[in-house]
Amino acid sequence: MNQSVGIRALAVNFPEYILTNDHWKKNYPDLLLKLEQKSQNVRLFDPDSQENKNWVQAVKPYREDIFRGTSERRILSGDETSLTIECGAIEKVLQAAKLDINEVDLLISCAMFPERLAIGNATLIAQKLGFRGTTWNMNATCGGALLSLDNAMALIQAQKLDRVLVSLSCNYSKHIEYTNSFSFTLGDGAAAFIVEKVKTGEGLLHSYSTNTYDTCDVVYPKFTVDGNGNPKLLITVNKETVKYATSLFIKYFQECCTKVLEKSRIQVEDIDFFIFYPPSAGYVNFCALELNIPQHKTIDMFPQYGNISVVSAIAALYHAAEQKKIQKDDLVMIYSHGFSGSSIASIMRWGDVELGLPPATSRGLAEAIVGLKGVAQY
* 342: amino acid identity, one letter: S
One-letter-per-residue 3-state SS of 35-72: HHHCCCCCCCCCHHHHHCHHHHHHHHHHCCCCCCCCCE
* Greater model confidence, 75 or 226: 75
Preceding amide of 302 cis, omega within 30: no
Residues 6+ apart with CB under 8 A from 219: 235, 236, 237, 238, 242, 245, 339, 340
CA dihedral 85, 88, 89, 95 (to 10 degrees): 180
pLDDT in tens, 312-328: 999 999 999 999 999 99
Contact 82, 114 (CB under 8 A): yes
Domain boundary assignment for the chain: 5-370
Contact 252, 335 (CB under 8 A): no
Whether the predicted pLDDT of 362 surpasses 70: no
Label residue 375 by pLDDT band (50, 70, 90): very low
Which pLDDT value is given to residue 376? Answer: 31
pLDDT in tens, 121-137: 999 999 999 999 999 99
pTM here? 0.92
Among the CATH numbers 3.30.70.1380, 3.40.47.10, 1.10.10.10, 3.10.20.30, which is that of 5-370? 3.40.47.10
